[in-house]
Amino acid sequence: MIEMSKEKKAMTKDRLIGMQVIDSDGNDAGTVQDIAFTVGKLGMTLIVETKKGENREVQWEEIQAAGDFVILKPSAAQTTGPQVMQPQQAQQPVCPTCKGPLSYIQQYQRWYCYKCQKYV
């Protein structure tokens, strides 16, 4: 079993990078690759590489504990944050031009790239 420490240790970037990420079910969710800070927002975002080699962002609020591992909160608690509304699809398509994430515009039922400012 993983021992969860409640004490607040200073977590340095060097300690976090390379740390294993465990989801609330105890599954291996990947490894911390990098840390991103957002100006004006508390905490930070972990860039996690999954076993499939995909990168995902884990918000600081999604983290339950960090010690020898990063332990994520149950996914039900991950619905917070002013994220762009996404349709009920498993994976989000990316822009063929800039490879950026596309946003689904419900009104026109089309995918839109905010970077290129065009529909795909």
Among 4, 86, 97, 110, which residue interacts with Zn ion (rule: CB under 5 A)? 97
Decide: is 120 part of the binding site for Zn ion (CB under 5 A): no
Contact criterion met (CB below 8 Å) for 45 and 35:
yes
DSSP per-residue string spanning 81-118: S-PPP--S-SS--B-TTT-PBPEEETTTTEEEETTTTE
The region of 44-52, 67-75, 81-89, 98-106 touching Zn ion under the rule CB under 5 A is: 98-106
Interaction of residue 113 with Zn ion, rule CB under 5 A: yes
The residues near 66 (Cβ < 8 Å, ≥ 6 apart) are 11, 16, 19
Q: Does 38 bind Zn ion (CB under 5 A)?
A: no
Q: Which phi and psi angles does 50 have, rounded to 5°?
A: -80, 175
**Rounded to the nearest 5°, which phi and psi values hold at 49?**
-95, 125
92 lines the binding site for Zn ion (CB under 5 A): no
Binding track over 41-80 against Zn ion, x by CB under 5 A: ----------------------------------------
- Kindly state whether residue 22 participates in binding Zn ion, applying the rule CB under 5 A: no
Q: Count interface residues toward Zn ion (CB under 5 A).
A: 7
Binding site for Zn ion (CB under 5 A): 95, 97-98, 100, 113, 115-116
